[in-house]
Amino acid sequence: IHEQKSFQEARDQLKESQAALNALVSIYEEKEPSKSEGKLAGVPVVLKDNINTKGHLTTASSKILENYVPVYDATIVKKLKEAGASIVAKASMDELGMGGTNRNALTGPVHNPYDLDRISGGSSGGCAVVVASGIVPLSIGTDTGDSIRKPAAYTGVVGVKPTYGRISRYGIIPYASSLDTVGYFTTNVADAALALEVLAGRDDHDMTSSYEEVLEYSQLLNADLEGKRIGIFKTVNEEVKDPIIKAGFEQLEEKLRAKGAILVEKRMPEQYMNLIAPVYRTIANAEATANHSNLDGIRFGRRENGESVDAVMTNSRTAGFSSYVRARFVIGSYSLFEENQDKLFRKAQKIRRLLVRAYADLFKDIDGLLAIAAPTLAPKIKESSDLRFQEASFAEDHMQLGNFSGYPSMTLPLGFEDGLPFAVNLTCRPFEEETMFDLADGIE
Ligand code: GLN
């Protein structure tokens, strides 16, 4: 990690940034003990507030967890400390990970450092902006549907969602378990490669974590694109309207050809692309509803009074979740309802499988797939909405294919329009992060 900064320096800069960015839920006053040597020795790190930190407030930006102090560290927190990093703050997010704007956070919206009137994107928005503004070199978030890669695109940083199962999720407040992936933000590809070495690996506390070998990615980096076959996801790019973003991507294509890469056009039927959003919504909301049934005010978190146990739960959940999250629980419950399960939840799972098969086909003869990450610049806070159920184009949601399939996927800065960043998305076959970082190094 280049650009070293002390814990105190980072802490003070984070405090100072709050007035403008509002990126944080809590800041650590004191440095906690961590190893003095290691791959991340002395590196100040910010964590999304859905990552359990022993003795430190962990709210997931939800009122129902506003006073929740975990009694244990998530596995990745232990790993970071063992590698010498120090945790310096917990970052704002869309409540429980639900949202793509970071407007839906208990502490209010996070602001984009390139234009404070614009969203950071979400749900890992706080994490994105503390790296984008150069305060910390590394922040850890989660990506269920694009929650790292979209904010990375809006704020001009590198955002990585590794393969599903690469990084332990033990101690992470879940959203949708079949999609949730731990990932992170950095300012460059080399740091991104190093971070995975530290974070990845099997954890017996998380049965979905993989035994797949973790490599020394930062030592293996090879930016040589000669003969590399790179898919260009035409279906997505053709759907993008912004001429400057399109031109930026075409310039990248030129650059890649000049470096000896072979570009291969890739398409997926639009009927399939249009299924991404409804399938995602059905699965994510159903799994979220099940996962969050433990947030009842009884076991932990904020409790409201009531005449009976049922009333305590109802009152706690009514007061503890925003109406937006409650709306999602209604959708989730509806599709899990016994009468509806076959025609909604199970059907969505079947279509997911179909989409993953079609997606896998695209990767048969390529090393990686490139697409425009987000079709627009970061929207204005006033104009953005998460309740855009009908009108959104699949160019907004295509990165969710990376969660359906579990494939490693990352966002890389591509250019600027009117001073605002836009980005490219790179996805590779499962557990081929080494290839992903090589290609990213060549693109960067
Ligand atoms: N915007 C998507 C949602 O609202 C993705 C969020 C995420 O990846 N956590 O669910």
- Compute the distance from residue 289 Cα to the ligand 1 centre, in Å: 14
Q: Is the pLDDT of residue 328 over 70?
A: yes
Q: Is the pLDDT of residue 391 over 80?
A: no
Give pLDDT, residue 385.
74
SS3 call for 103: coil
Tokens coding 18? 């709050």
List 365's β-bridge partners, or say none: none
Ligand 1 center–CA 287 separation, angstroms? 13
Q: Is the CB of 145 under 6 A from ligand 1?
A: yes
Distances (CA, A) of 266 to 138, 232, 246, 286: 33, 6, 16, 31
What three-state secondary structure class fits 87?
A: strand
Closest-CA residue to 412 (of 378, 443, 379): 443
Give catalytic status of residue 335 as yes or no: no
For 129-275, strand residue ranges (E) read 138-143, 158-161, 181-186, 229-233, 262-266
Cα of 284 from ligand 1 centre, angstroms: 8
pLDDT band at 301 (very low <50, low <70, confident <90, very high): confident
Average pLDDT over every residue of 66-78:
97
Give the residue-averaged pLDDT of 234-261: 98
Which is the closest atom of ligand 1 to the Cα of 280? 10
Interval between CA 146 and ligand 1 midpoint (Å): 6
pLDDT number for residue 392: 81
In angstroms, what is the span from residue 100 Cα to ligand 1's centroid?
6
Q: What's the sign of the alpha-carbon dihedral 66, 72, 73, 74?
A: negative
Give the whole-angstrom CA distance, residue 412 versus residue 423. 6
**Nearest CA, atom 5, ligand 1:** 145
Q: What is the pLDDT of residues 338-348, one digit of tens each?
A: 999 999 999 99
Ligand 1 pocket member 280 (CB < 6 A): no
Domains defined along the chain, listed by start: 7-223+412-418 (3.90.1300.10)
Angle at 301 between CA 299 and CA 306, to 5 degrees: 75
**86 counts as catalytic:** no
pLDDT at residue 384, as a whole number = 80
Place of tokens 């060549």: 442
Q: Is 100 in the pocket of ligand 1 (CB under 6 A)?
A: yes
CA-atom Rg of the chain in angstroms: 21
- pLDDT in the model for residue 300: 81
Supply the pLDDT for residue 388.
Answer: 55
Mean pLDDT of the 77-99 span: 97
Instruction: Using CB atoms within 10 Å of the CB of residue 418, give its burial: 0 to 12 exposed, 13 to 18 middle, 19+ buried.
Output: exposed
Could you identify the atom of ligand 1 that is nearest to the CA of residue 124? Answer: 9
Whole-angstrom CA distances from 289 to 49, 281, 285, 390 are 19, 12, 6, 22
- Band (pLDDT 50/70/90 cuts) for residue 2 is low
The residues pairing with 90 across neighbouring beta strands, listed in sequence order, are 26, 47
Q: Which atom of ligand 1 is nearest to the CA of 175?
A: 9
Alpha-helix runs per DSSP H in 162-242? 189-199, 217-220, 234-239
| d(C-alpha 117, C-alpha 132), whole Å | 16
What local confidence, expressed as pLDDT, does residue 48 receive? 98
DSSP-derived secondary structure letter, 275: T
Contact of 70 with 31, CB cutoff 8 Å: no
- 217 CB less than 6 Å from ligand 1? no
Q: Is the CB of 99 within 6 Å of ligand 1? A: yes
Q: At 184, is the pLDDT very low, low, confident or very high (cuts 50, 70, 90)?
A: very high
Is the distance from CB of 377 to CB of 92 less than 8 angstroms?
A: no
Q: Which of 93, 98, 124 to mutate to test the pocket of ligand 1 (most atoms within 8 A of CB)?
A: 98
For residue 72, report the distance from its CA to the centre of ligand 1, in Å. Answer: 26
CA 133 – ligand 1 centroid, Å: 23
Atom of ligand 1 nearest to the CA of 98: 4
Quick one: how far is CA 359 from the chain centroid?
20
CA separation, residue 310 to residues 66, 132, 307, 317 (Å): 21, 45, 8, 11
Q: Which residue's CA is the closest to the ligand 1 atom numbered 1?
A: 100
Marked catalytic residue, from 147, 218, 405, 409 = 147
Residue carrying the six token digits 């269920």: 144
Tell me if residue 48 is catalytic: yes
Q: Is the CB of 47 under 6 A from ligand 1?
A: no
Residue 205, pLDDT > 70, answer yes
What's the Cα-to-Cα distance from 387 to each of 165, 323, 331, rounded to whole Å? Answer: 30, 12, 13
Q: How confident is the model at residue 389 (pLDDT cuts 50, 70, 90)?
A: low
Other CB atoms within 10 A of residue 277 CB: 20
The CB density around residue 123, as the number of other CB atoms within 10 Å, is: 36
